[in-house]
Structure 1
Amino acid sequence: MTRINSYLKENFINFLLLVGTVLFTLLLIEVGHSIYKLIRSSKSYFRIDQTTQERYLIPGMVREKKFIKNGPKITIRINSLGWRDREISLEKKEDTFRIVALGDSITFGWGVELHETYVKQLETILKKQNSYKNYEVINISIEDLGLQEELKLLKQFGLDFQPDLVLLGFYLNDARPIGGFPNESKPTWFHRRYTLRKIVNLTPLTKSMAKKALIKLGIMTPNASSRFRWIDTFTTREWVTNQDKMKLLIKSADLDWGVAWKSQSWTAINQYIQEMQEVTQSADCSLAVICFPVSVQVESDFTFLDKPQQHLSEICSSKSIPFLNLLPSFRHWNTTVEEPLFFDLCHPTPLAHQKTAQVISKFLDTERLLLTPR
């Protein structure tokens, strides 16, 4: 009996040592990953207010970032005022027509150099066409913004530039509120633990067990869904010719760009655009809306795909706001050019930025939005 007890005691100690070693190793991995994240965040060109979840660019920050796998490094340079643009004075010179471009990652220039963005290319076009007048197109866009945040930026900073025109670059997920939708899964202490996530994601069974445990412990909301759960359906590309698959894809994206097919989202969009118009009118400047498509709308032509643009057109028309729908142009380019128009689901390539700037230039001229500066 003594020998058995001694054997059990020895093996129990070995077991504890093994468990301790594993836990210590996991702790080292977690600490190492935390240090890595800290180093990465110190190189970021934007910050997120942890209280409000609002995003801001960091003035004076210069970073190189590879947006596309195997793609070139892109220089992100934030000026002293906190925008991805050249150094600009708030004071507007005489005979200068100023356009403030407001939007999300598309207008910000995700994946392209500053001079390749449609904002800067539009500025170049306007200067060449009107050498007798000075045109400035100022970019005050930030990645992953919605209309709610864009309206705040316009009020807090945009009007300081004394714009003659505010050009809103609208994208289909712009109804998304600050911090995400109520039923959108949010990062918790568990999701921030690198080692725990790696362990539970080993198999579908461990993922399912972990989810049930987190819900039971109150860490995760039962009906919470991932914002990007549409990616798997998107990569199959069955939606290109299959209408049912397309509808399934849109439904799976209802916490992102698919929200544009939900009628209730247009109540919020209408409200924000109404308020944006009131803000610009009080500042004695014009407002125009440019709507960027999602790539699935460009690659397919099912009639229901145009509904978001139709909704936005009706809203702008009811308020006499000039509106440019880029979907027809993108569909035309998709059949006439060999180069890709998108890096991914939504971000335009340099070619698409160039063509977009040309279309916007004609639109501004047709709508007579480039008259005498105020």
Structure 2
Amino acid sequence: MQVPPRSGRFYPRLKARVLRDDVSTFVPGYQATLKSQDFCTTIKTNSLGFRERELFEAGEPSQPPVLFIGDCIFMGYGVEEQERVSNQLADIARARGVSQAVINLSFIGWRTNNYYSCLTNFCESLKPQSIVIGIYAGFEFGAVVRPARAREQLKKT
């Protein structure tokens, strides 16, 4: 049996698409297992291609949601959906008697330009009360060299 890489591999293969502008998501209805040497998680997406429950369902609270936007860390890479930071904060709020709608529109590889595009595409329809943006400084500020950047640097030498 072949051992997946430490960072993980999607089974079946990752299926993504460009939704609008530079907003990429999973393919709607995508279901997969993300396996690595350290974890094995389930990925299921809604009709917009986000790892989130179906939005705009009948009977949902009518109050404006708290919107979470970020990269793979906020998406919950390596953890089950209910273990993501957005779900954990919603659970804490419920335990304190606050019923607050929470929506997570995060995706693998997103950076600040993608967060902005996501906001411009979804803020009007979602009308969030608050927006929580997750930034992993290692990606955003260059502490971690991304594979594409590394390839470009190698070509220059």
Q: Is TM (by shorter chain) over 0.5?
A: yes
Q: Residues 183, 44 of structure 1: CA spacing in aligned structure 2 closer, same or farther, 3 A cutoff? A: closer
Q: Is the 8 A contact 1:101 1:138 kept in 2?
A: yes
1:144 aligns with 2:136: no
Match in the other structure for 2:151: 185
- What SS does the corresponding residue of 2:115 show, helix, strand or coil? helix
Paired residues in the alignment total 142
- What SS does the corresponding residue of 2:134 show, helix, strand or coil? strand
Cα distance in 2, alignment partners of residues 184 and 158 from structure 1? 34
More helix by share: 1
Cα distance in 1, alignment partners of residues 124 and 26 from structure 2? 18
27, 47, 53: which is aligned to 1:58?
A: 27
Match in the other structure for 1:221: 156
Deviation digits for residues 80-119 of structure 1, max 9, x if unmatched?
122111112189743x241000100110001000001111
- What SS does the corresponding residue of 1:157 show, helix, strand or coil? helix
TM-score, normalised by the number of residues in structure 1: 0.34
Q: Is the 8 A contact 2:12 2:33 kept in 1?
A: no
Cα distance in 2, alignment partners of residues 183 and 43 from structure 1? 23
% same residue? 24
Q: Which structure would you say has the larger Rg?
A: 1
TM-score, normalised by the number of residues in structure 2: 0.74
Q: Is the 8 A contact 1:64 1:73 kept in 2?
A: yes
- Structure 2: gaps of 5 or more residues: 1-9
Q: Is the 8 A contact 2:74 2:84 kept in 1?
A: yes
1:75 aligns with 2:10: no
Match in the other structure for 1:130: 97
Cα distance in 1, alignment partners of residues 11 and 77 from structure 2? 18
Cα distance in 2, alignment partners of residues 167 and 87 from structure 1? 20
More strand by share: 2
Once superposed, what is the RMSD of the aligned Cα atoms? 3.2
Q: Residues 158, 141 of structure 1: CA spacing in aligned structure 2 closer, same or farther, 3 A cutoff? A: farther
Q: Residues 163, 90 of structure 1: CA spacing in aligned structure 2 closer, same or farther, 3 A cutoff? A: farther
Deviation digits for residues 50-72 of structure 1, max 9, x if unmatched?
xx876322111111111x30x44
- Structure 1: gaps of 5 or more residues: 1-39, 187-210, 212-219, 223-374
Match in the other structure for 1:166: 131
Alignment of 1:82-97 (within 5 A): 82-89=49-56, 93-94=61-62, 96-97=63-64
Post-superposition shift, 1:45? 4.0
37, 43, 48: which is aligned to 2:13?
A: 43
Match in the other structure for 1:33: none
Q: Is the 8 A contact 1:45 1:78 kept in 2?
A: no
Q: Which amino acid aligns with 1:185?
A: R
- What SS does the corresponding residue of 2:101 show, helix, strand or coil? strand
